[in-house]
Amino acid sequence: MRPLPLLLLVIALAANGEDVQEPAGFWTGQINSAVPETIAGGKVIHAQELEQLLKQEKPLLVNVSNEPKRPPGMSPDAPWLPLPQEVIPGSVWLPGAGMADIAPDTDALFRNHLSQASGRDPDHPVVIYCHERCWLSWNAAKRAIGYGHRHVYWFPEGIEGWHAAGNTTVVAKPWSAATQDVE
Amino acid sequence: MGMTRTMSLAAACLCGLVCMHIARADDDAAVRNERWTELQRAIFPGRTISDGAGVIQLDAPPRALDAALVPFTITLPGQIQIKTVYLVIDNNPGPLAGRFTFGAAADPRTLKVRMRVNTYTNVHAVAEDSAGKLYAVEKFVKASGGCSAPAGSNDEESMRNLGEMKLKLLNEFVPGKAVQAQLMIRHPNFNGMQMDQLTRMYTPALFIRTIDITYADQPVLRIESDISLSTDPVITFGFTPREQGRLKVEVRDSKEQSFLREFPVPGPALPPTS
């Protein structure tokens, strides 16, 4: 019986073979690649804990997946039909918030949204996610921590992990200054 | 108080935007079928598509090692004369990855290309016969990040040797007998979603729009593509050579640059003509 736990350990280590360390600043490498297991100044959250948190504390949810843009030069006949953006219900979708070099407008939008929607409470929980194996959410979580939020959760499994845990999503449009004016 | 009301109002507005439909898992067959229905309407409006089993076959790895270089093999057994094949990567933002039109000198039995795949997706190969009837087959491919993946160290080389081509015959040359040829084209095929690792800026889109292949002035294959085609595309196709003849390849890209190469078959490549 003894070899079994050892075997499981070996399998677990092999499955998690990519040992990724947190970079000192924002991640500037390939966006879709292996991510670390931690985020300094924040907490990593997984699907079941997130389900609990949603019931108990009404955290702010921000999906920071990037938005595909039709490149110039494509044939006018070629269809351009990006998949609708799925989000965890109650989320805003803020494309660009996870870029290492964030556009100043996006930076302001992200900062203001977190500030206003939390009622200027830096202890209000904030959950940041995008896709699995996607650094955008790690960067955006780090950015939110930098804004002074003290309960930032990073959900590295993202939309894929949320679906895999049997949860539903809804379709969102990008959050923008115009959207905020509607409030 | 005011804050609570603002927040619930915001939530109500947000809900108006987002509660249009509820989706379940990415790998939910119903969601995938709904997407394909939407794409059929966009790409083949008003047309009926029959089951392509026996007419066209699509092979792809169920899980791709490199999402920026996913190999696809399209096989046409030949019972029905096919003039055009469409390759649709359902969940790519530009789903029509390629349109392949066979000419008189083609041997359209096997076609191989490498494509970028952005996320888990169904892929459809659709064959159109000479009467305009459509036949489709489907494969599910697990790959993600192919559209934003930087091509990496090859980019500079691809730019320096832009439009350079190589042709290789994969079977023995026998006049009058169909042969498979592999065409390699140096082109970064930037899709505008890749980031330069040094400048941190998106690399502007620059991609192949058309590839026209002729043999002895007879059309072999016309490929219409865009941003799904991989960096440095490698295309395998068939044609039937004679005793002597030249295979000509003309590539045009999204900046209206044109590259022309001629390959005597059999024989070494001629220097570039421009």
Q: Looking at this predicted complex, what is its ipTM?
A: 0.79
What beta strand segments (E) does A106-151 contain? Answer: 126-129
pLDDT of residue B25: 45
A109-124 residue pLDDT tens:
999 999 999 999 999 9
pLDDT of residue A82: 92
Residue A26, pLDDT above cutoff 90: yes
Query: What residue numbers bound the domain in which A162 lies?
Result: 41-68+84-182
Give the torsion sign (CA, B24, B27, B31, B35).
positive
Domain membership flag for residue B112: yes
Angle between helices A104-117 and B2-18 (to 10 degrees): 120
Residue A6, pLDDT above cutoff 60: no
Hey, is the C-beta of A165 within 8 angstroms of any chain B C-beta?
no
Q: What CATH number does residue B99 fall under?
A: 2.60.40.2470
Hey, is the C-beta of B215 within 8 angstroms of any chain A C-beta?
no
CB atoms within 10 A of CB A30: 17
User: Whole-angstrom Cα distance, residue A168 to residue A159?
Assistant: 10
Query: What residue numbers bound the domain in which B220 lies?
Result: 24-264
Residue A11, pLDDT above cutoff 60: no
C-alpha separations of A130 from A26, A86, A154, A156 in Å:
16, 10, 10, 8
> How many domains, in total, are found in chain A?
1
Q: What CATH number does residue A51 fall under?
A: 3.40.250.10
CB atoms within 10 A of CB A74: 19
Domain membership flag for residue B19: no
Residues 6+ apart with CB under 8 A from A90: A54, A61, B11, B14
pLDDT of residue B153: 53
Which chain A residue has its CA at the smallest distance from B28's CA?
A163
Domain membership flag for residue A13: no
CB atoms within 10 A of CB B199: 9
What is the pLDDT tens value at each position of chain B, 274 positions in all? 344 444 444 444 443 333 334 444 444 788 899 999 999 999 999 999 999 999 999 999 999 888 889 999 999 998 899 999 999 999 999 999 999 999 999 999 999 999 999 888 999 999 999 999 999 999 999 987 776 665 555 677 777 889 999 999 999 999 999 999 999 999 988 887 776 666 666 778 889 999 999 999 999 999 999 899 998 999 999 999 999 999 999 999 999 999 999 999 987 766 665 5
pLDDT of residue A124: 98
Hey, is the C-beta of A54 within 8 angstroms of any chain B C-beta?
no
User: Whole-angstrom Cα distance, residue B83 to residue B200?
Assistant: 43
8 Å CB contact between B94 and B226:
yes
B 105-164 near A (Cβ less than 8 A): 118-119, 144-145, 147-150
Which residues of chain B neighbour A168 with C-beta distances below 8 Å? 22-24
Domain membership flag for residue B220: yes
Domain membership flag for residue A133: yes
b/e code A40-62 from CB counts within 10 Å (16+ = b): eebebbebeebbebbeeeebbbb
Judged by CB atoms closer than 8 Å, whether chains meet at B95 and A81 is answered as yes
Share of chain A above pLDDT 90, in %: 68
* Chain A to chain B Cβ contacts (< 8 Å): 128
Residue A14, pLDDT above cutoff 50: no
Judged by CB atoms closer than 8 Å, whether chains meet at A160 and B26 is answered as yes
pLDDT of residue A56: 94
Judged by CB atoms closer than 8 Å, whether chains meet at A133 and B207 is answered as no
User: Whole-angstrom Cα distance, residue B263 to residue B168?
Assistant: 10
Hey, is the C-beta of B10 within 8 angstroms of any chain A C-beta?
yes
User: Whole-angstrom Cα distance, residue A38 to residue A104?
Assistant: 27
> How many domains, in total, are found in chain B?
1
Domain membership flag for residue B109: yes
Domain membership flag for residue B223: yes
8 Å CB contact between A68 and A168:
no
Domain membership flag for residue A128: yes
Q: What is the pTM of this model?
A: 0.80
C-alpha separations of B165 from B6, B105, B116, B240, B259 in Å:
61, 20, 21, 20, 9
